[in-house]
C-alpha cells in the first residue's frame, strides 16, 4: 500500500565506502553517534535527502563509535559532522588542461568537496549536493 522510502545507508566499515566513491556519484557522509541529540535531528534530514536523491547521490551514515578509524581518517572532532566526497569539477581553461596533462588520474581523484558540523539546514545540504552533480528525482 505504501512505498518504502529510501533511507541513509549505515556503513559498518570504511571499506564499504570504496565502491560508492568509485561509482562517480557524490557521497554525503553523516558522522554520528548514538545518544547525540543533534545527530537524531539530522538523521531525519539525511533520510529525507536519501529519498530525494536516490539515483544521483549516495547518502550514508557512519557511527564513529562503531567504525574503527573513521573519526581519525576524516578528522572528525564532534558529531554530527558531514563530509561530501566527489570528483573535482573539470575546468575548461587551457591553463588547467595543460597543467593536468602531466598528472595521471587527475580526474579520477576523489576529494572532500564540502564539510560542516552541527545542525545544518536541509536546503543548504541540497544545494551542496546539486552543485556537485546530484539531481532530485
Residue 93 has pLDDT above 70, yes or no: no
pLDDT digits (tens, 9 = 90+) for 42-80: 999 999 999 999 999 999 999 999 999 999 999 999 999
Reported confidence tier of residue 5, pLDDT bands at 50, 70, 90: confident
Domain boundaries, the chain: 9-131
Long-range pairs for 94-97: beta carbons < 8 A, 24 or more residues apart: none
Among residues 8, 39, 42, 50, the one annotated as catalytic is 39
Residue 103 has pLDDT above 60, yes or no: no
Among residues 14, 21, 36, 110, the one annotated as catalytic is 36
Backbone angles phi, psi at 61, to 5 degrees: -130, 140
Q: What is the DSSP string of 50-96?
A: HHHSTTT-EEEEEETTTSTTHHHHTT--SSSEEEEEEPPPPP--HHH
Third-level CATH fold of 9-131: Glutaredoxin (3.40.30)
Indicate if the alpha-carbon torsion angle 81, 82, 87, 93 is positive or negative.
negative
Average pLDDT score over residue span 113-132: 97
pLDDT of residue 109: 72
pLDDT of residue 87: 76
Alpha-carbon distance of 25 to 36, in angstroms, equals 29
Residue 100 has pLDDT above 80, yes or no: no
The pTM (predicted TM-score) of the whole model is: 0.85
Backbone angles phi, psi at 15, to 5 degrees: -65, -25
Can 39 be counted among the known catalytic residues? yes
pLDDT of residue 101: 58
Can 36 be counted among the known catalytic residues? yes
Mean pLDDT of the chain: 89
With pLDDT > 70 as the criterion, what percentage of the chain qualifies? 82
Angle, in degrees to the nearest 10, between helices 37-52 and 122-131: 50
Amino acid at each position: 500500500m505504501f512505498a518504502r522510502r529510501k533511507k541513509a545507508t549505515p556503513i559498518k566499515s570504511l571499506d564499504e565506502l570504496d565502491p560508492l566513491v568509485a561509482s562517480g556519484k557524490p557521497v554525503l557522509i553523516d558522522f554520528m553517534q548514538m545518544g547525540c541529540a543533534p545527530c537524531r535531528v539530522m538523521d531525519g534530514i539525511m533520510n529525507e535527502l536519501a529519498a530525494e536523491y536516490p539515483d544521483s547521490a549516495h547518502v550514508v551514515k557512519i557511527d564513529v563509535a562503531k567504525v574503527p578509524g573513521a573519526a581519525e581518517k576524516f578528522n572528525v572532532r564532534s558529531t554530527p559532522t558531514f563530509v561530501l566526497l566527489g570528483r573535482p569539477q573539470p575546468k575548461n581553461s587551457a591553463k588547467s588542461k595543460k597543467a593536468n596533462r602531466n598528472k595521471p588520474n587527475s580526474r579520477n581523484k576523489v576529494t572532500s568537496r564540502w564539510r560542516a558540523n552541527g545542525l545544518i539546514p536541509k536546503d543548504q545540504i541540497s544545494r551542496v549536493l546539486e552543485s556537485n552533480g546530484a539531481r532530485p528525482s
